[in-house]
Structure formats: C-alpha cells, structure tokens
Amino acid sequence: MASRSSLHMNPGSGSALALLADPPTRLIDGAAMDYFLIEAVNALRASSAVAAARAQKIEQEMAEAGLVPPPPPAKPQNHRDSVGSTTARSTTLVDEEDEGVRSRLEAIGLHVGGNFAERLCRDRPTFGDSLDAIKFVCKELWVSCWDKQVDNLRTNHRGVYVLQDNAFKPVVRISSWEGRAEALKRAKLYVALPAGIIRGALARMGLHGTVIPEITSLPHCTFQIKLPKNS
Amino acid sequence: MTIFSLYIYDRHCACVYYQDWHRTKRPKPAVEGGILNAVSRAVAPQAADTSAANSSAFSSPRNTLSSNTGFVVAIGDDSSSSSTPAQAAVDGPRSNALPFDEEAKLVYGVILTLRNMVKKLSGRDEQFTSYRTSAYKLHLYETISGYKFVMLSDPSTDGLRFVLRQIYNGPFVDYVVRNPLVTMDSREQGIDNDYFRASVDRLIRGLSVFA
C-alpha cells in the first residue's frame, strides 16, 4: 500500500516538501511600508481626537448632571505672564493628543511584534537567558523589520539594555521645513510603533518589560529596555 | 556651462519649491500670502521687522557670471511691485524686479502656454521639453502625477531632462514622498525641507555641467 501510494504522489511533491521545510522569505516593499505608516499615524491622530472629544463630552454631561465633581479648571491663568501660561497650555494639549496617538501606535506594535516574533522563532531553540533574547531582537528582528542590525548594545547586566541605531529606518527621512528641532519633536511619534514591536516580540517570548525610545539627534535613535530581574 | 535655478510646481499650479545656484539679481521676497509657506527660505515673505532680510543658509549670492550673460529675472516695467515699505527698506534703491510669487507665476504661465501650444500643434503625444534664448535655456520635466520640474541653465547646456528625472527619482521620492512630515498635494504648504534641499544641492553640484 505504501508503494502504491507513493506511485500516486504527483511529481511536484518533492519541491512542495522542500518548500514546507524551508519556506522562502517573504519580503514587503519598504516604500509601501513607509506610506502605510504615514497614513496610519494620520488616521490614528484623527481617531484619537474623536475619542478624546467624545470622552470629554461625556465627562461634561456627567459633571452637569451632578454625578461627578466638575473637572479641575485648566492650568490657572496667571495674568502677569499670560504668554507663558498660554504656551504651556498649548503644549500640554498637544502632548495629550500625541499621547493618545502614541499609545494606539504602541498597542498596534505590540500585536505586530508578537506575531512577527512567532514566525521568526520558528525553529529556534529556547533562549538561555534574557541577554540571548535581546541579542535575537538586535539581530533577527532588526534585520527583518529594518534591514540592518543594531549598531550598539549596552547593558548593565541587571535588566537594563540600551540598543543604539545610528540610522534608524523609520526616522531616517524625517525632515521638516521648520528645522531640526521641530523634526525631532515630531519624530518621537514615529518611533512609537517600532518600540511597540520590540516590546511585543519580547513579551511573546516571555520577557515582560518596558521599551522607551529616545531620539537626541536624527537619525540616531536609542531604545532603553527594562526587563524584570528574575529572568 | 552652469545651472541657474530650479522650480517645482505641483498639480494645483502652485510653486512648491525653489532653489537657485547662480543668479545675477537676487530673488525678491514674495508678498505676504503670495506663495505657500514652505517653498524656500530665501524668498519667503518678510515679517514686519525685516531683521532676517534675505540671509539664510541656503541663499548664496554667488555671482560668478558677468551681468550681461546671466539669467536676468523678469523685469517689471513699473515699480508697483515693491509693495510694503519694509521691503523697500531692505532693497534700498528701488529695483524693478518682480517679487518672487509673480516671478513663479510667470514661469508657470510660460511653460503651461508652451505645453498647450505644442500639444495643439503636433498632437497629444508630443511633449514640450525645453526652450532656449540668448541668455538662458529652460528645461521642463513633467511627471504623470502633475509635478513640473523646471530648470534654468545657460544656453549651451545640452539636455537637462535627464537631470530633472534624476531629481524626481532620487531626492524627491526619498525626502518628499517618503517623508512623514511633508504633506504631498496640500494646497497650503510647500515641500521644502532640510534633507531634500541638501540632497538636490549635492546632486546638482556633482554634475559635470555645473560650473
């Protein structure tokens, strides 16, 4: 029976087996990814503005109905230096909006990173310790997502790792009409998704920590990973 | 053999970028509201206090050409173009050059008219590519998306459409299309930014036709 069934196998099955054993890497166009991220940030900004407005409206209705104490007044106006207070208020408003977008981007990154790590870790033996996992992130994850390896990895061997990339792909093209400072400020939003990807990948491998991205000068970017001590 | 300046227009017929290398007369700043606000630091409309004047990292009054051979900006015939007293204070003796927004519109009008005329004369497949005068040669490269790259060079240059195509495929796609901070196709913002300007500059200066 076995021989007859082997006669019935179609000639392409040998290559099908080879494909199953060693699937070719699937690639995505880098430019398409860039365009998608640009649109994602804009769409999330609009959606988080709508969500914030809705939450504020509900708060206001509840306050008027007397169910909750009225919200605290926005920063007390100091009439002596009105310029300072209005600018402070406008930056906190912008930061709150950005915070909404940022948290949504990071949440998306968490899911993406987790699933991506599943595929990357397919035939890999389990990691010895968290340093191996971080090295996997630096080499495999970075190469798959952003086409290069991390340039510098530092650790204090107590759960804090600093990954440094001298030309981080999502921010390498960010440049603004208003100059370097403005470009730097806006670039902080675009590293939220990669930070989420790293955090999601580590979480899926069992290391639940935090990832904090930092940009001091474009396109140089660092990620500070804090992992709990017991791993 | 040298290159004078570059203009980029989008499909809304507005000038979205300007850069120059050699010019006999400095471009006059545009009036307020005349041009979009991210076109070029050198020609941005001046604020009420003209402390910034025309100085910027990008405009270099390098003028290696003698005045009778360089490209001379369109001369307005009357002095109604000097609008605000602040600008007159900057310019000193009254110049009758057009402010930049009018100059940009003039260039655009010229290429639009010539383009339509060529299409009417020879059919839809022919494209207007360049014209030459005794002082300069103007090259046009138009993309399917409606962006028009206009370059002015000295009359003896051969064909710069290839260079304009290189600008489109290189710096434009890299630092304008793929730049998250630049809104393409917006009606109120140009496309000027640091990296784009620097890479166009590098590309042009690396050409053999650039003096």
Q: Is A193 exposed, middle or buried, given 0-12, 13-18 or 19+ CB atoms closer than 10 A?
A: buried
User: Residue B210: inside a domain, yes or no?
Assistant: no
Assess contact for A192 and A110: CB atoms under 8 A.
Answer: no
How many CB pairs below 8 A link A and B? 41
Mutate to test the interface with B, among A175, A182, A186 (most CBs of B within 10 A): A175
pLDDT for the residue A93 = 62
Provide the angle, in degrees to the nearest 10, between the axes of the packed helices A192-204 and A180-190: 30
Locus of tokens 């080879």 = A18
Protein fold of A35-68+88-226? Muramoyl-pentapeptide Carboxypeptidase; domain 2 (3.30.1380)
Low-confidence ranges of chain A (pLDDT < 50): 1-9, 76-88, 231
The residues, ordered by sequence, that sit 6+ positions from B117 with a Cβ below 8 Å of its Cβ are B128
Q: How far is CA A133 from CA A25, A40, A110, in A?
A: 22, 29, 16
pLDDT for the residue A94 = 65
Gap between the Cα atoms of A158 and A3, Å rounded? 59
Would you kindly state where each structural domain of chain A is located, as residue ranges? 35-68+88-226
- Which residue range(s) make up the domain with B50? 3-205
pLDDT for the residue B134 = 93
Assess contact for B42 and B27: CB atoms under 8 A.
Answer: yes
CATH of the domain at B55: 3.30.450.70
User: Residue B52: inside a domain, yes or no?
Assistant: yes
Helix (H) or strand (E) segment spanning residue B138: strand B137-142
Gap between the Cα atoms of A176 and A179, Å rounded? 6
User: Residue B103: inside a domain, yes or no?
Assistant: yes
Q: What is the pLDDT along chain B (211 residues), one digit of tens a residue?
A: 789 999 999 998 888 999 988 877 777 776 666 667 767 777 777 654 333 333 333 333 333 333 333 344 444 333 333 333 333 334 434 456 778 888 889 999 999 999 999 999 988 888 889 999 999 999 999 999 999 999 999 999 887 888 999 999 999 999 999 998 888 888 888 888 889 999 999 999 998 877 6
pLDDT for the residue B52 = 35
Which residue among A31, A174, A177 sits closest to B180, beta carbon to beta carbon? A174
Tens-place pLDDT, residues A67-102:
777 766 655 444 444 444 444 455 566 677 788 899
Hey, is A24 helix, strand or coil?
coil
pLDDT for the residue A99 = 87
pLDDT for the residue A73 = 63
pLDDT for the residue A11 = 55
User: Residue B39: inside a domain, yes or no?
Assistant: yes
**Residues of A whose CB is below 8 A from B193:** 175-177, 183
User: Residue B37: inside a domain, yes or no?
Assistant: yes
How many domains is chain B partitioned into structurally? 1
pLDDT for the residue B96 = 66
Gap between the Cα atoms of B167 and B196, Å rounded? 10
Phi-psi region of B46 (alpha: psi -120 to 50; beta: other; left: phi over 0): beta
Q: How far is CA B192 from CA A17, B11, B37, in A?
A: 53, 16, 9
**Residues of A whose CB is below 8 A from B190:** 177
User: Residue B91: inside a domain, yes or no?
Assistant: yes
User: Residue B171: inside a domain, yes or no?
Assistant: yes
Helix (H) or strand (E) segment spanning residue A87: helix A82-120
